[in-house]
Amino acid sequence: MVTDVATSVMPQVETTAQASSKVSARQKKQIAKINASLSKKQKAAKKWIAYRESRYSYTASNGSCYGRYQLLKAYLHGNYSPVNQEKMANKYVAGRYGSWTKAKKFWQSHHWY
């Protein structure tokens, strides 16, 4: 019997058509505005988490989690747009950890946030 070690150890991340994988120029501007108040260090921690959660994909799906930051689908309230994912990720992290750097530190210890 042959076992694929990569799929048995790491959860599969699937992409779906629920949100466009392309980010428009308008969305990029909105996202920049959403993240404007974050320091360079906070932005770096947010990017670090996005890479580990979805390899930066706004359409990554894993069970009941979705998007770039793998938030619960219910938390996104049916709006899977990149702009809403950015806004809700900031809200989630601020409420749970206080900052992206603290969320990163937690992720490094637990491999989730």
Tell me, what's the pLDDT at 20?
58
Task: Tell me how far CA of residue 3 lies from CA of 6, 7, 17, 28, in angstroms.
Answer: 9, 9, 29, 41
Tell me, what's the pLDDT at 19?
57
Which residue in this structure is represented by tokens 């058509």?
Answer: 17
Tell me, what's the pLDDT at 6?
42
Three-state secondary-structure class, residue 65: strand
Three-state secondary-structure class, residue 29: helix
pTM above 0.95, yes or no: no
**Quick one: DSSP state of residue 5?**
H
pLDDT digit string, tens, across residues 1-45: 444 444 344 444 443 334 557 999 999 999 999 999 999 999 999
Task: Tell me how far CA of residue 92 lies from CA of 17, 70, 80, 99, in angstroms.
Answer: 24, 11, 15, 10
Tell me, what's the pLDDT at 9?
42
Residues 6+ apart with CB under 8 A from 73: 64, 65, 66, 80
pLDDT digit string, tens, across residues 33-83: 999 999 999 999 999 999 999 999 999 999 999 999 999 999 999 999 999
Extract the tokens encoding 62: 């894993």
Nearest to 62 by CA among 14, 17, 18, 112: 14
